[in-house]
Amino acid sequence: MADLRTQVVYRSKRLNTGHLIEADQAFGQRNALGPHALMLFFVSDAPTEPYGYKLHTAYRLWPQAPDSDVLPRLLAEMTDVAADNIASIGRKWSPLGPEGSMVNGGDMTLPGGRYVGVGVSTLDSDQGRWYQVARTLRDAAAAGRYMSAFNLKGQCYALLTDGTALHVDRDPQARLGEDGVRCNKTLDSNRITYHNPYEHLTEQGDDETRDIWRQLTALHHTLTAHLLAGRWA
């Protein structure tokens, strides 16, 4: 559904911005955050909403550590965690917990919520790796040049249960009309057919980008097979 995709884009951008602010404020401190975050998307019935549902997002942030710096490796570890929880806890396991929770923020209590997708927020961008860019901000401040974290980019990747693949390039300096969204399906419910250069989005990009998609796909398939097979919903 185009409306759900649009809401996921908005929610991803908002979470990425919040992730950036928290990471910037904690940079260099004992509670410093890693550059990547996991996002889980659920919907619940909401008859008063225009499309009859409400989108919920739970997320996981990691402390700064070598184990949380490499996004494909982090996603592979989350897939292993999910598989282990499914094997040990069984059909009642939910990534929202309480037992074996995969998240530590957002909407973590959703009775009746239905899983619709998974995503990641990352502070790495074409401006550079997060740690490099964050140090640049502080070097500029020390030299008397004003730079704000609000000028920094961020990225999000998401996969939804209807086959949607989304990449969001959050750029505060983007020109008006450039939303930075790439999607293999339309975000316009009134647009039925058109040429989509991102039809094979998960196969595009450099080696690291394709590896991110591969690992995110593995996690998505693990969660989908468990959560949408009548085991937890």
**Separation CA 55–CA 50 (nearest Å):** 12
Q: Is residue 142 situated within a structural domain?
A: yes
Per-residue pLDDT for 230 more than 60?
no
Q: Is residue 233 situated within a structural domain?
A: no
Q: Is residue 105 situated within a structural domain?
A: yes
Q: Is residue 149 situated within a structural domain?
A: yes
Number of domains in the chain: 1
| Structure confidence at residue 231 (pLDDT) | 41
Which pTM was predicted?
0.92
DSSP letter string, 96-147: T-STT---SEE----TT-EEEEEEEEES-BTTB-HHHHHHHHHHHHHTT---
Percent of the chain with pLDDT over 70: 93
Mean pLDDT of the chain: 90
State the residue range of the domain holding 95.
2-227
Two structure tokens written together for 203: 């196969």
- Residue with more model confidence, 151 or 23: 23
Q: Each residue of 185-228: pLDDT tens digit?
A: 998 877 666 788 999 999 999 999 999 999 999 999 999 999 99
Q: Is residue 41 situated within a structural domain?
A: yes
Q: Each residue of 75-96: pLDDT tens digit?
A: 999 999 999 999 999 999 999 9
Q: What letter does residue 152 receive in the DSSP assignment? A: -
Looking from the CA of 138 toward its CB, the CA atoms found within 13 Å total 11
Residue of 112, 115, 119 whose CA lies nearest to 225: 115
Q: Is residue 232 situated within a structural domain?
A: no
Place of tokens 């598989």: 83
Q: Is residue 135 situated within a structural domain?
A: yes
Task: Give 150's pLDDT tier (boundaries 50, 70, 90).
Answer: confident
